[in-house]
Amino acid sequence: MDRQIALEILVKYKKEKSFLNLTINHYFENNQLTQIQKSFITRVVYGTVQNMIYLEYILKPYIRGRVKTYEKMLLLMSLYQHVFMNGIPDYAIMNEAVNLAKKNKGIKTAQFINGVLKNAIHSPCSLDELNKEERISVETSHPLWMVKMFIKQYGFEETQKICHANNEVPQRCARVNTLLMSRTELLKDTLWQPAHLSDVGVYYQQGNIANSDAFKQGFVTIQDESSQLVAPLLNPLPGETVLDMCCAPGTKASHLAALMKNQGCIHAFDLYPHKIALVKQQMSRLRISIVEAKAADSTTLAQLYKPLTFDKILLDAPCSGLGVLARKPEIKYHEASAMDEIIQIQEKLLENAYPLLKNGGNIVYSTCTINKKENEKQIQSFIKKHPDIKKIKEVTILPYQYHSDGFYMCLLEKE
């Protein structure tokens, strides 16, 4: 049953470009599964997508023409188990694959799957024919355009480290809700360990954080520790009026509220009403009362408020997500052209933030990407248009440095 579900998730992802985490959660909610089964399904699904370019490279010599989605995903997930899950014997992998094919597609498909897997599993795979850029692309399953972009921006050695880090299992990280509890108090529970970058960050040692008692009681919220550095960089004070321009799911807004000791007002916006509903749920769970969450297009906020309204502004901008590929491997296979549209939206958001900020106030611009066109170059362009904006601090965290998400954040001041 677990392989059947993993296969269904992968087929749905490939056909519909669905989000892996949402699809997995849907299947888990609608099937009675043990924790062992859930762990297996999660590993196979994420592992197959994470290593798809490499697995397709192994497969390529043994297939001709176009292979249908069901058969392709079955072959790839079986190869993933062969290459990356050493505890499973090859005969078991092949038997399960053939049985799935026979049950769902018939004997001819089963014979095809058996023949291709037998060849692919028993023949060594060599990357010797590839040049240096192609080799990184194939062995870490990053599209070649992305590898070339990273090399141009960071150099060859850094790119190698970034791409390999993107294939590691991310930490289960949370932030302590200091409105209700200190980190010292939480760490009395041995299931939690202190994080390294953030003084309110913790790692969870067992299962899903959302299932923990601490989460259910509002003592913690799920947040990578790179992301936990953003709100303190803005340094909102109790009693201030703060704008969070792209707030869903509310993680950074709740961090701002904690730093403000739940005193003042945070105007939080996101484009979609259903996301605002999630933000409100989050604030209720964390017992935060100063966040006013509303649905609106933040590229038009300058029309909704008077100039010089806000003491501080957080713009955690929509981005390409190239810093969170370990958590969302499906992002690797997005079209490169999608970034051009995102860069224009980021620019509009910054332009709307500018008139709303009080003189002497601060903006933090942050993204979960490491693409310099969306980060350093975006800020350079913004400052060029507005000479009264001064860059105070700029931080880029690469995924390999702290085993955390890749992140960019920049503190700006309006003179």
- pLDDT tens digits, residue range 124-158? 888 989 999 999 999 999 999 999 999 999 999 99
Residues 112, 154, single domain; the answer is no
pTM of the predicted model as reported, rounded to 2 decimal places = 0.93
Sheet strands (E) in 346-388:
357-367
Q: Map residue 309 onto helix, strand or coil.
A: coil
User: What are the b/e assignments for 370-405, b being 16+ CB within 10 Å?
Assistant: bbbbbbbebbeebbeebeebeeeeeebbbbbebbbb
Average confidence (pLDDT) over 105-114: 91
Cα distance between residue 141 and residue 79, in whole Å: 14
Q: What is the pLDDT of residue 279?
A: 97
Residues 46, 74, single domain; the answer is yes
Write down which residue in 54, 87, 122 finishes a domain: 122
Average confidence (pLDDT) over 267-277: 96
Residue 214 lies in a domain: no
Residue 152, Cβ neighbours under 10 Å: how many?
Answer: 10
CA 15, 171, 287: angle at the middle one, nearest 5? 95
Residues 245, 378, single domain; the answer is yes
Distance of CA 56 to the CA centre of its chain: 24
Q: Tell me the residue type at 193.
A: Q
Residue 375 lies in a domain: yes
Q: pLDDT above 70 covers what percent of the chain? A: 100
Give, as one character, the DSSP assignment of residue 410: E
Residue 195 lies in a domain: no
Residues acting as catalytic residues: 368
Write down which residue in 122, 145, 178 finishes a domain: 122
Q: What is the pLDDT of residue 390?
A: 97
CATH number at 9 reads 1.10.940.10
Domain that holds residue 324: 225-414
Give, as one character, the DSSP assignment of residue 193: E
Longest dimension (CA), the chain: 73
Average confidence (pLDDT) over 257-276: 97
Residues 17, 144, single domain; the answer is no
Q: What is the pLDDT of residue 134?
A: 97
More confident residue, 206 or 281: 281
Strand order in the sheet with 310-316: 291-295, 265-270, 241-244, 310-316, 357-367, 407-414, 389-397
Is residue 206 scored above 90 in pLDDT? no
Q: What is the pLDDT of residue 65?
A: 82
Q: What is the pLDDT of residue 66?
A: 86
Question: Considering only 20-24, 41-45, 249-253, which range has the smallest mean pLDDT?
Answer: 20-24
Q: What is the pLDDT of residue 128?
A: 87
Residues 263, 358, single domain; the answer is yes
| Cβ–Cβ under 8 Å, residues 124 and 132 | no
Average confidence (pLDDT) over 99-109: 91
Is residue 87 scored above 90 in pLDDT? no
Lookup: tokens for 64: 């001709």
Q: What is the pLDDT of residue 126?
A: 87
What is the per-residue pLDDT across 307-366, written as a single tens digit (0 to 9) for each?
A: 999 999 999 999 999 999 999 999 999 988 888 899 999 999 999 999 999 999 999 999
User: How many domains does the chain divide into?
Assistant: 3
Residues 340, 262, single domain; the answer is yes
CATH number at 315 reads 3.40.50.150
Q: What is the pLDDT of residue 51?
A: 97
Quick one: which of 361, 357, 358 has its CA closest to 349? 357
Average confidence (pLDDT) over 64-80: 93
| Cβ–Cβ under 8 Å, residues 209 and 220 | yes
Name, in order, each residue with C-beta under 8 angstroms of 125's C-beta and a sequence gap of 6 or more: 57, 58
Cα distance between residue 157 and residue 152, in whole Å: 11
Residues 249, 396, single domain; the answer is yes
Residues 157, 251, single domain; the answer is no
Q: What is the pLDDT of residue 34?
A: 87
Residue 276 lies in a domain: yes
Residue 27 lies in a domain: yes
Place of tokens 């003084």: 199
Mean pLDDT of the chain: 95
More confident residue, 150 or 21: 150
Residues 94, 140, single domain; the answer is no
Q: Tell me the residue type at 187.
A: L
What is the per-residue pLDDT across 359-404, written as a single tens digit (0 to 9) for each?
A: 999 999 999 999 999 999 999 999 999 999 999 999 999 999 999 9
| Cβ–Cβ under 8 Å, residues 353 and 300 | no
Residue 185 lies in a domain: no
Write down which residue in 122, 141, 173 finishes a domain: 122
Residue 171 lies in a domain: no
Residue 206 lies in a domain: no
Residues 70, 102, single domain; the answer is yes
Is residue 35 scored above 90 in pLDDT? no
Is residue 86 scored above 90 in pLDDT? no
| Cβ–Cβ under 8 Å, residues 234 and 364 | yes
Question: Considering only 25-39, 252-266, 315-329, which range has the smallest mean pLDDT?
Answer: 25-39
Q: pLDDT above 90 covers what percent of the chain? A: 85
For the chain, the distance separating the N- and C-terminal CA atoms, rounded to the nearest angstrom, is 62
Residues 110, 233, single domain; the answer is no
Residue 239, Cβ neighbours under 10 Å: how many?
Answer: 12
What is the per-residue pLDDT across 221-245, written as a single tens digit (0 to 9) for each?
A: 999 999 999 999 999 999 999 999 9
Average confidence (pLDDT) over 154-170: 96
Residues 63, 153, single domain; the answer is no
Strand partners of residue 313? 243, 363
